[in-house]
Amino acid sequence: MLKVGIIGGGFGLNVQAPIIHTHPNMTVTAVSTVNRHQLPKEIEEWDHPPVHYKNWNEMIDNEELDLLLVSSMPIYHYEMVKYALQSGMKNIICEKPFTCNRTESEELVKLSKEKSAKLLLDFEWRYVPARQKVKELIQNNHIGEILHFEYHVSNPQFQRLQESKRGWLGQKGKSGGMLGALGSHMIDTMRWLIDDKIEAVNGFVHTHVPEGGGEVRDADDAFFINGKMKHNSTFSLQLVTGVNHGFGSSVKVYGTEGTITLDNDKQVNLGKVNEQLNEVTVPKRAVAPDYVSERAQGYFHAFYPYLESVYEYVVHDSLDPSLATAEDGHESQIVIDQIIGN
């Protein structure tokens, strides 16, 4: 049974912890909150609730953990992961964005190698069944050589941005903004799906709704990125949230022998040359137990199979090609830095 510790009182406790609790070979033995010190009722009602720390250093120092999840605000990732590595932690998962800049991410990659530690990134959306199917189709050469990759998202948050606080997510100085929160996932998805390196990139971020909920924001709520890959394909990534109507997410992969589309992470279509696009069967999503909170259920279909791969890597040293490492996090951080001018 892997003993798991989590740092962070938001996503870590409300999403990750409840899903880890369903895994037969993992148990959350300790958690550390940073700012919000109230444990979710769901966790308090477990038969064996985790030890609750309010100082993450003490948790790392006092607990014998097999796996640590760093799920705090991004501005703390570097400090926390570095301390854990220097303290001898051998298995660490860090939330995205990896760090605040490429200098920090590069240092953590080097340090993890020096310490012979397994440092992973929580790019769990690689494990969405529909994305796994797209990856399979590309790997099996159904569309030939990649010509162009497009990933566009529109999420209608205009009214919410006007009425509600965003907190640190709206503050550039705290590494807030959609480029880090979601762009990091989108950059990683592209790199992983088409298995290529980014050679040239340009783009910009924008804030459509700079005020709302009694706060002023300077972090982006939209971004627009395009560029070229090492093997000469091109790409376009964009996300807008400050709008009144959204059309979900759309991935299109154009190849010399055909095209693949992915709509809202559910429907996959494949079309060969001179043929129409036809829907492809996608494996069913994993379903969370009924006692898991509604918020955690929304992540279960991706995070649970991600945990399965983490377990195999930690216990059996078997690295699933879909499991994102620190190097993947560093590559995404390089692109983020280029866009925001770090």
Residuewise pLDDT in 10s, the chain (342 residues): 999 999 999 999 999 999 999 999 999 999 999 887 789 999 999 999 999 999 999 999 999 999 999 999 999 999 999 999 999 999 999 999 999 999 999 999 999 999 999 999 999 999 999 999 999 999 999 999 999 999 999 999 999 999 999 999 999 999 999 999 999 999 999 999 999 999 999 999 999 999 999 999 999 999 999 999 999 999 999 999 999 999 999 999 999 999 999 999 999 999 999 999 999 999 999 999 999 999 999 999 999 999 999 999 999 999 999 999 999 999 999 999 999 985
- Per the CB < 8 A criterion, the answer to whether 149 and 235 are in contact is yes
Say what the pLDDT of residue 36 is.
Answer: 73
Strands ordered across the beta sheet of 26-32:
51-53, 26-32, 2-7, 67-70, 91-94, 118-121
In a 3-state reduction of DSSP, which class is residue 152? Answer: strand
Helix H segments across the chain?
Answer: 11, 17-20, 41-44, 56-62, 77-86, 102-114, 129-139, 158-163, 178, 184-194, 294-316, 326-340
Give the number of other CB atoms < 10 A from CB of residue 88: 9
Q: 187-213 burial by CB neighbour count: b if 16+ within 10 A, else e?
A: bbbbbbbbebebeebebebebebeebe
How far, in Å, are 105, 127, 132, 313 from residue 321 at the CA level?
A: 21, 11, 11, 11
Question: pTM above 0.85?
Answer: yes
How far the first Cα of the chain sits from its last, in Å, is 42
Characterise 30 by phi-psi region: left (phi > 0), alpha (psi -120 to 50), beta (else): beta
Q: Hunting for tokens 């990125």 — which residue is that?
A: 225
- Per the CB < 8 A criterion, the answer to whether 324 and 120 are in contact is yes
Q: Tell me how far apart the alpha carbons of residues 220 and 280 are, in angstroms, rounded to a whole number.
A: 35
Say what the pLDDT of residue 38 is.
Answer: 84
CA-CA-CA-CA torsion sign (291, 294, 295, 301): positive
Say what the pLDDT of residue 342 is.
Answer: 59
Domains of the chain, each with CATH number or no CATH: 2-124+305-316 (3.40.50.720), 129-284 (3.30.360.10)
Say what the pLDDT of residue 37 is.
Answer: 73
